[in-house]
């Protein structure tokens, strides 16, 4: 069967693969486009499986919030390099994933990947990811999905560049305050909202450390409790959102800012690309050669 330009174009649109790869697949399937799609899908799965062992610590965080600000999601999509993180195909995929996450009810990444990338489409997010891996040549994965459904409050968000995202549920206040709080969280990375949310085990461990440090410095044992108490108080001011000094006005704590506005932070989530992943350091020239070799 003759392989026409129209047939190649249709296969490219369906798979996102390169022209020569599409033409070769059509030649091998004797012009049967469905067989070519299936063969390319299997090839993409094989390539994705091979690349899945490679560290993907770069990428983007994408946020999507409903118009009524009652529901919102954050999705972290990883790749291997900053170069690919800026690629239009990669960012378009990430944006579509966030839109589908917001429209659906997936509670985790596994459930989300089973959903279609386009509303009413036949290609799942997992299949689209595999096709993108085959096309771009890097490991790509959906790492995290955060979903908030607001109760009495409203959701506000902030994204710093493409690498840090914040969702905040706020009762009372206004959009300006909501964005300011989200920006503050992006900048300071608090552990939790208030002191009573800090795990007791964490506090006990810190108390032991502070006591040992005080003893080692030669402080009298009779004042150790006061020293430890002071250090714990300072620690809680540093790691809790309410205890921190507001980044826009360091003379004001976030707690006082919220009190003045008659507002309350119910919860927040902060996602930073690659946090917790040990990124392999590679020579750039070696990285390029690895891409050329198809490793």
Average pLDDT over residues 124-133: 92
Say what the pLDDT of residue 228 is.
Answer: 79
Domain of 188 in residue numbering reads as 58-192+269-275+287-293
- Residue 13 has a CB neighbour count (10 Å cut-off) of 9
Say what the pLDDT of residue 129 is.
Answer: 92
CATH assignment of the domain containing 72: 3.30.479.20
Angle, vertex CA 180, rays to CA 174 and CA 184, nearest 5: 145
Q: Are residues 29 and 148 in the same domain?
A: no
Q: Are residues 42 and 122 in the same domain?
A: no
Average pLDDT over residues 263-267: 97
CATH assignment of the domain containing 46: 1.10.8.10
Domain assignment present for residue 198? The answer is no
Tens-digit pLDDT profile for residues 157-166 = 999 999 999 9
Check: CB of residue 87 under 8 Å from CB of residue 136.
yes
pLDDT higher than 90, residue 263? yes
pLDDT higher than 50, residue 173? yes
Q: What is the mean pLDDT of the chain?
A: 86
Region of residue 241 (left: phi > 0; alpha: psi -120 to 50; beta: else): alpha
Domain assignment present for residue 205? The answer is no
pLDDT higher than 70, residue 294? no
How many Å separate Cα 42 from the centre of its chain? 28
Tens-digit pLDDT profile for residues 26-85 = 888 888 888 887 776 656 543 444 444 466 779 999 999 999 999 999 999 999 989 999
pLDDT higher than 80, residue 272? yes
Q: Are residues 62 and 165 in the same domain?
A: yes
Please report which confidence band the pLDDT of residue 15 belongs to, taking 50, 70 and 90 as the band edges. low
Q: Are residues 76 and 40 in the same domain?
A: no
Provide DSSP, 205-217. HHHHHHHHHHHHT
Domain assignment present for residue 121? The answer is yes
Q: Nearest to residue 63, comparing CAs of 82, 77, 78?
A: 77
Average pLDDT over residues 257-281: 89
Instruction: Please state, for a pLDDT cut of 90, what percent of the chain lies above it.
Output: 54
Using CB atoms within 10 A of its CB, is residue 173 exposed (0-12), middle (13-18) or buried (19+)?
A: buried
Distance between CA atoms of residues 138 and 50, nearest Å? 10
Domain assignment present for residue 204? The answer is no
Distance between CA atoms of residues 117 and 126, nearest Å? 8
Domain assignment present for residue 221? The answer is no
Q: Are residues 112 and 11 in the same domain?
A: no
Distance between CA atoms of residues 106 and 277, nearest Å? 24
Taken in order 283, 284, 288, 289, the sign of the CA dihedral is: negative
The total of structural domains in the chain comes to 2
Q: Are residues 80 and 42 in the same domain?
A: no
Tens-digit pLDDT profile for residues 75-123 = 999 999 899 999 999 999 999 999 999 999 999 999 999 999 998 888 9
Distance between CA atoms of residues 29 and 34, nearest Å? 9
pLDDT higher than 90, residue 199? no
Q: Are residues 15 and 96 in the same domain?
A: no
Distance between CA atoms of residues 165 and 68, nearest Å? 19
């Amino acid at each position: 069967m003759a392989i026409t330009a129209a047939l190649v174009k249709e296969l490219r649109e369906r798979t996102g693969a390169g022209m020569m790869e599409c033409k070769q697949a059509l030649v091998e399937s004797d012009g049967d486009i469905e067989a070519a799609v299936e063969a390319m899908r299997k090839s993409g799965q094989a390539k994705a499986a091979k690349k899945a062992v490679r560290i993907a610590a770069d990428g983007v965080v994408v946020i999507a919030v409903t118009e009524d600000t009652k529901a919102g999601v954050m999705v972290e999509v990883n790749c291997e390099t900053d170069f690919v993180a800026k690629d239009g195909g990669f960012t378009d995929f990430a944006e579509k994933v966030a839109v589908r996450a917001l429209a659906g009810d997936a509670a985790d990444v596994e459930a989300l990947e089973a959903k279609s990338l386009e509303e009413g489409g036949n290609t799942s997010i997992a299949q689209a990811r595999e096709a993108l891996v085959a096309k771009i040549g890097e490991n790509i994965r959906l790492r995290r999905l955060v979903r908030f459904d607001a109760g009495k409050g409203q959701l506000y968000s902030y994204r710093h560049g493409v690498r840090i995202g914040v969702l905040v549920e706020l009762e009372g206040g206004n959009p300006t305050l909501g964005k300011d709080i989200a920006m503050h969280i992006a900048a300071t990375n608090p552990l939790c909202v208030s002191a009573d949310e800090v795990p007791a085990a964490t506090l006990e461990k810190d108390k032991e450390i502070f006591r040992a440090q005080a003893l080692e410095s030669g402080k009298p044992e009779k004042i150790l409790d006061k020293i430890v108490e002071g250090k714990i108080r300072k620690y809680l001011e540093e790691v809790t959102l309410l205890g921190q000094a507001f980044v826009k006005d360091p003379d004001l704590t976030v707690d006082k800012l919220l009190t003045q506005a008659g507002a309350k932070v119910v919860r927040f989530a902060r996602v930073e690309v690659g946090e917790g992943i040990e990124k392999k350091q590679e020579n750039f020239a070696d990285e390029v050669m690895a891409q050329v070799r198809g490793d």
